[in-house]
Chains A and B, each alone.
Chain A
Amino acid sequence: MNQYVNKKFSNQYKATIGADFLTKEVMVDDRLVTMQIWDTAGQERFQSLGVAFYRGADCCVLMFDVNNGKSFETLDSWRDEFLIQASPRDSENFPFVVLGNKIDLEESKRMVSQKRAMTWCQSKGNTPYFETSAKEAINVEQAFQTIAKNALQQETEDILDFPDPIKIDSDANKYEACGC
């Protein structure tokens, strides 16, 4: 995330309250969009806080380490957890994006193949998949472009009804008012 926003990589950025907050502006179809990127902690003790952060999200990015099989296997539970906690209106079509990170390490360390990851993504309603290296800035820009685009598609024009007109004789309001 730092790679994307600050064009630099730090493997010891600070987690604060279980989440890190960054902002990035991107152009999506001639429209300038500001992304609020909330990096929630993967640690157990912060999980309860995640609940509040999930609500109101426009897109969820799941990220695993291609050199760590367990991080891939837990994607399912993270996804389910998100949908339960965020309870989006249309959970079938809520936009997810999956990132397989740390592809800069040597091939022999790789535990999750691209094929395996893509198969999983296809089974989850064709979730977009990107292989990235935060350290080497590979695919990061493209991934976030897709994220912004998919999130924006969720935005629909809501039509608001004008509320009913007030009937002034129906209910008198009582309060300390001007004596004038």
Chain B
Amino acid sequence: MSPIMEEILSDSNSILTSDEPLSPTLQPQQRLKARPTTQLSFDAYSSSSSGSSIRSFNTTSNKVDTGADFLLGLISKSNSATSSERSKISPFHNVKSGKRPLIKLTKEASSEEEEIDQQDTCRDSDVPLDHNGDDSIISRNDISVISDDKEYSGYRRKYGHEADPLLIYKDPQSITWSRHRKHFFILSSAGKPIYTRYGEETRISSYMGVIQAIVSFFADADDTIRSLGPLYLVAVSRTNESEMQLRDQLNYLYNQIVSVLTSTQLTKIFEQRVNFDLRRLLGGTEPFLDNLASTMGDDPGFMFSSIQCVRMNKDLRDKVGSIMQSIKPQDLLYAMLITNNKLITLLRPKKHSLHPADLHLVFNMVNGSSTFRSVESWTPICLPKFNNKGFLHAYVCYITSNVCLLFISPDKDKFFECSEAKNLLKEELSDCNALQEIEEASQNEGYSIADIGVPGLRHFIYKSRTHVQYTSPTLVAPYSDPRKRQKPLKVHYYVSPNETILGWLTSSFELYAAFGPLISKSALTSSSHTLLRWIKKEEESLFIVSSPVF
């Protein structure tokens, strides 16, 4: 047994027996006290990394005379015939129904909400309510007090949308819309909607006003929101993800916008016109934000700030790399072969490595649009970690049905050189049969847990800190929901009726593994070491251990 394992497994203080995540941002939870005031809490911040964020918010209802003035925000929209009667229903109407809206503003609703919360607390004390003073991301497991069936039928009775069963998920006025596990909203500092994960931006503009109001409320008390750019990004979640995880995800969304506009343009636009409708410039790129929003919840690479590579014989990878090296076009920054969000190989200048966050944006771009599959493309892209002030230009082309080639260049006039280099690359790879071999490797589903032969082991994620890459076997039941994983600090050992979880961090790797529930500590230890030995043995095929540079 390694010293660290020994220390952890024998030290009762370090062995956690609850499923509380070890994230340093999570404080011991306090139960929400019933207050006859409006409780509104979510995590909002403006794309950044320092300062304080919006926490929770209380307000009492007030009557106000007819206002002395109105303000208007205008969101222009392409002319369409989709305008419907639904727009006449105020978003706040669903609050009055006393169900569970994500953003609550009326006194009546909040009182009821708190009663339900207290019942929840009694019924299931393990459920974190996260209504403590420091962390107020809404995250609950048991949000469904009312069964889905009843909810839907109630909605249909009220609004008669039987014809389109999906509509209720898209319509912000519906209860179902508010019951998505995780919402993302992006708005300008003037309160204009820029992006919503669900529903349509114009429909949620009232919510955007409320968010802007909350931000202003705190700004008024000199509690300014953390901020980098001129945008507000909001996550409303009940996924049990930590504040840190959500913060990371909002940063990714922000970076996606920067990748389309550059931070130079973004800043300039709002300096010139604070009321600018950014959707005029971002229009058409929403699928990339959508794709990112859903991938971030499932792909551990985002949480671990690392990437996954295709498992492949090292000799083959080296051969492909050296061929790429030999055909690379002029003024190249990066060349890479990718498949299904995994890296096959990367060619780069000696002094410019590639940040995993930028690589995730590249993956997201290639995956977010099916058009790349059919044509050679040339597109400007800003990679914020490399340089957020300007555009690079990406040549994108699938060279087999699964393998996509990218050349990234600072020169906007290099399309034809890249296209020629692609032809050459394809030719040379075919000549030595490597094209066929990488296509086969890319079709490979990965390895299964059975291939490793570690007793009791069900699933694991291993991140090599040295290579900034992770590896993981294909997911089998019951681990089809990766969102349940959480990030421990050093070692996390947890036994539940269904499984035994080990999380183990060292300076060179992070291991997260799930075993059967009945495994003994000594068997767990020896199994973990068997697994680590297997990973060591397979390291050169699981990871890209060296990549060609120029």
Q: Which A residues fall within an 8 A CB radius of B?
A: 1, 5-7, 12, 14-25, 30-43, 46, 48-49, 51-65, 71, 74, 78, 82, 89, 101, 134, 147-148, 151-152, 155, 158, 160, 162-168, 171-173, 175-180
Give the distance to chain B from A10, nearest Cβ to Cβ, in Å. Answer: 11
B203 engages A56 (CB within 8 Å): no
Question: Roughly how many angstroms separate A176 CA and B465 CA in the complex, as a whole number?
Answer: 10
CB pair B355–A36 under 8 Å, yes or no, is no
Give Cα A75–Cα B497 distance, bound, in whole angstroms. 69
The answer to whether B68 and A78 touch across the interface, beta carbons within 8 angstroms, is: yes
CB of B391 within 8 A of chain A? yes
Q: How far is B190's CA from A59's CA once the two chains are assembled, in angstroms?
A: 13
Nearest A residue (CB) for B89: A6
Contact B386 A59 (CB under 8 A): no
CB pair B105–A179 under 8 Å, yes or no, is no
Assess whether B390 is interfacial by the CB under 8 Å rule: yes
Cα distance A6–B269 in the bound complex, in angstroms: 34
12 other A-B residue contacts (CB within 8 Å) besides A38-B209, A180-B467: A21-B206, A32-B79, A52-B216, A56-B192, A57-B72, A60-B72, A71-B68, A155-B74, A177-B354, A177-B468, A179-B467, A180-B343
Cβ-defined partner of A165 (8 Å) among B191, B205, B391: B391
Contact of B390 among A1, A48, A158, A164 (CB under 8 A): A164
Quick one: closest B residue to A16, CB to CB? Answer: B105
C-alpha spacing A177/B547, complex, angstroms: 13
Give B217 Cβ to nearest chain A Cβ, in Å. 6
The answer to whether B191 touches A56, judged by C-beta atoms less than 8 angstroms apart, is yes
Give the number of residues in B that approach A within 8 Å (Cβ atoms). Answer: 95
Contact: B206 with A62, CB < 8 Å? no
Question: From A7, which residue of chain B is reached at the shortest CB distance?
Answer: B88
**Contact assessment for B273 and A152 in the assembled complex, using a CB-CB cutoff below 8 Å:** no
Closest Cβ of chain A: how far from B158's Cβ, in Å?
16
> How far, in angstroms, from A46 to B67 measured CA to CA in the complex?
11
Mark B57-85 against chain A: 1 for CB-CB distance below 8 A, else 0: 00101111111111111111111100100
Contact partner, B353, options A49, A163, A178, Cβ 8 Å: A178
B105 proximity list for chain A (CB < 8 A) = 14, 16
Question: Is the pair B67, A41 in contact by a Cβ cutoff of 8 Å?
Answer: yes
Within 8 A of A (CB), among B450-484: 466-469
Report the Cα distance A151→B220, complex, angstroms.
Answer: 27
Which residues on the B side are within 8 Å of A172 (C-beta)? Answer: 351-352
Give Cα A166 to B359, complex, Å: 18
A48:B75 contact, CB within 8 angstroms: no
Residues of A within 8 A of B240 (CB): none
Instruction: Return 23 A-B CB contacts under 8 Å, by A number.
Output: A5-B88, A32-B79, A32-B83, A33-B77, A38-B191, A39-B67, A42-B65, A42-B66, A54-B71, A58-B73, A61-B69, A61-B71, A64-B68, A152-B74, A163-B262, A166-B391, A167-B410, A175-B355, A177-B468, A179-B469, A180-B346, A180-B467, A180-B544
B133 contacts partner chain A, Cβ-Cβ < 8 Å: no
Question: Is there contact, CB below 8 Å, between B275 and A58?
Answer: yes
Known contacts A48-B220, A180-B544; A15/B68 CB under 8 A: no
Bound together, the chains give a CA A20 to CA B61 distance in angstroms of: 12
- CB <8 Å contact, A33 and B76: yes
Do B192 and A16 touch (CB < 8 A)?
A: no
Q: Is B70 within 8 A of A40, CB to CB?
A: yes
Whether A24 lies near B87 (C-beta < 8 A) is yes
In the bound assembly, the distance between CA atoms of A74 and B392 in angstroms comes to 54
B72 near A35: Cβ-Cβ < 8 Å:
yes
The dominant DSSP class at the A interface is mixed
Partner of B59, one of A17, A30, A166: A17
Tell me how far the C-beta of A160 lies from the nearest C-beta in chain B, rounded to whole angstroms: 6
Q: Does B320 contact A (CB under 8 A)?
A: no
Q: Is B265 close to A, CB under 8 A?
A: yes
Chain A, Cβ-Cβ closest to B219: A52
In the complex the two chains form, what is the Cα distance from A22 to B205 in whole Å?
Answer: 8
Report if B161 contacts A (CB, 8 A): no
Q: Is B446 an interface residue (CB 8 A)?
A: no
User: Would B68 and A62 count as touching, CB distance under 8 A?
Assistant: yes
Chain A proximity mask over B207-239: 1 for CB below 8 Å, otherwise 0: 111101111110110000000000000000000
Query: Within the assembled complex, what's the spacing in Å between the Cα atoms of A56 and B90?
Result: 23
Q: Is the CB of B74 within 8 A of A148?
A: yes
Top-3 shortest CB links A-B: A56-B190, A52-B216, A21-B209
A76 to chain B, nearest CB (A): 12
Q: List residues of B (331-359) whose CB comes within 8 Å of A's CBs.
A: 333, 343, 346, 349, 351-356, 359
Known: A34-B202, A49-B216, A168-B349. A175 touches B385 (CB 8 A): yes
Q: Mark B521-548, 1 if CB is under 8 A from A, else 0.
A: 0000000000000000000000111110
Bound state CA distance, A55 and B212, in angstroms? 11
In the assembled complex, the CB of A145 is this many whole angstroms from the nearest CB of chain B, namely: 12
The reply to whether B71 and A60 form a contact with Cβ atoms under 8 Å apart is: yes
Contact A36–B59 (Cβ < 8 Å): no
User: Whole-angstrom distance from the CB of A151 to the nearest CB of chain B?
Assistant: 5
| Interchain CB contact under 8 A, A15 and B70 | no
> How distant is B96 from chain A, measured CB to nearest CB, in Å?
10
- State in angstroms the CA–CA spacing of A42 and B68 once bound together: 5
Q: How far is the CA of A161 from the CA of B273 in the complex (A)?
A: 15
